[in-house]
A = this chain, B = another copy of it.
């Protein structure tokens, strides 16, 4: 008798209501909030989020002091797992050809960021001027692109060397695939790998770094 077969109507509602341990519920709320705010933006209404989650709006405020606190939790969830500390190391590992390092990095990185929720929340928070956003880009500049600049210069066999703007161009051209796909919702290749590879090769070729 403890288990009803859901509401007798045809509504696809799972059960009447769920009672969960605090930690679990909190995580469910965060996950739902990530999807919700990615969909409608950070100005999305708490009542709509609650409806998506199948809970009451007031319950949100048992787990988060305010809507801002909830958004901070969303930021933390989305940003934190996207900064792998070993990339700076691997990118500087000169026992591997530079092309291989670049392709490995952008293969991993594109898998991480070409994701609907990340792309959109990153853009929403960027437009809102969120601090985390600035820190993330600062990190990208200092820990990824700057070392990469040194690597390209070291591997380049010509007088012409890249500057930081060239690195940002490489990076931006790749990131733009995700922007087209998730921000502008344009049709994009299901696998960005080949396009990335060609982009990296064009870049390296321009600085006379061997590409094969």
Contact = CB atoms under 8 A, between A and B. Distances in A.
Copies of this chain present: 2
A137 B41 contact: no
Contacts of A175: 172, 176
Contacts of A171: 176
Given A41-B127, A183-B123, A168 B172 contact: no
A50 to B, nearest CB: 19
Residue among A43, A123, A126, A169 facing the most chain B CB atoms (10 A cut-off)? A169
Contacts of A165: 177, 189, 194-195, 198
A86 B180 CA distance: 25
Contacts of A168: 176-177, 180
Contact of A169 (B166, B199, B206): B199
A133 interface: yes
A54 interface: no
Nearest to A169: B173
